[in-house]
């Protein structure tokens, strides 16, 4: 029996929820692929890393090690607390506009202000 991938394990054991639909992506040197739109987050937000999975418009799926960090790119959106999602540089050609990004249910609840979480803090700035 072949080994399951991490994504297959996550799909089978963890409820994944849609966190955003990709509007644009941009490579930011040293940080990885910035995925837009930014997310409105609670004021207690702190950066963290999480495995996400992406469903592309063609229906194919892939998991990525993602980083959620506070918005500090000088964009004006009218929201006081925002986080942006960075994917590894290797994701640049793999996440087209229209892709959907999913996170574990508990992570989404925490991003929306719930009491659970957050996931473990980010330990390294690897892109």
Average pLDDT for 92-111: 91
Distance CA 107, CA 110 (A): 5
Is the sign of the CA dihedral 10, 119, 25, 99 positive or negative?
A: positive
Count structural domains, the chain.
1
Q: Is residue 116 part of a domain?
A: no
Task: Give the tens place of pLDDT for each residue, 65-83.
Answer: 999 998 765 455 556 678 8
Domain holding 14, by residue range, is 6-111
85: domain CATH number? 2.40.30
pTM here is: 0.77
Q: Is residue 125 part of a domain?
A: no
Which of 32-36, 72-76, 115-119 holds the top average pLDDT?
A: 32-36
Q: Is the pLDDT of residue 114 over 90?
A: no
């Amino acid at each position: 029996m072949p080994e399951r991938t991490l994504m297959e394990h996550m799909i089978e054991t963890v409820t994944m929820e849609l966190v955003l639909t990709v509007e644009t992506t941009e490579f930011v040197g040293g940080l990885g692929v910035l995925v837009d739109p930014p997310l409105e987050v609670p004021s207690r937000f702190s950066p963290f890393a999480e495995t996400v999975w992406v469903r592309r418009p063609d229906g194919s799926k892939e998991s990525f090690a993602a980083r959620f960090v506070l918005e500090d790119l000088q964009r004006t959106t009218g929201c006081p607390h925002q986080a942006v999602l960075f994917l590894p540089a290797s994701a640049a050609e793999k996440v087209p506009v229209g892709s959907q990004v999913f996170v574990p249910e508990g992570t989404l609840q925490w991003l929306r202000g719930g009491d659970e979480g957050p996931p473990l803090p980010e330990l390294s700035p690897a892109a």
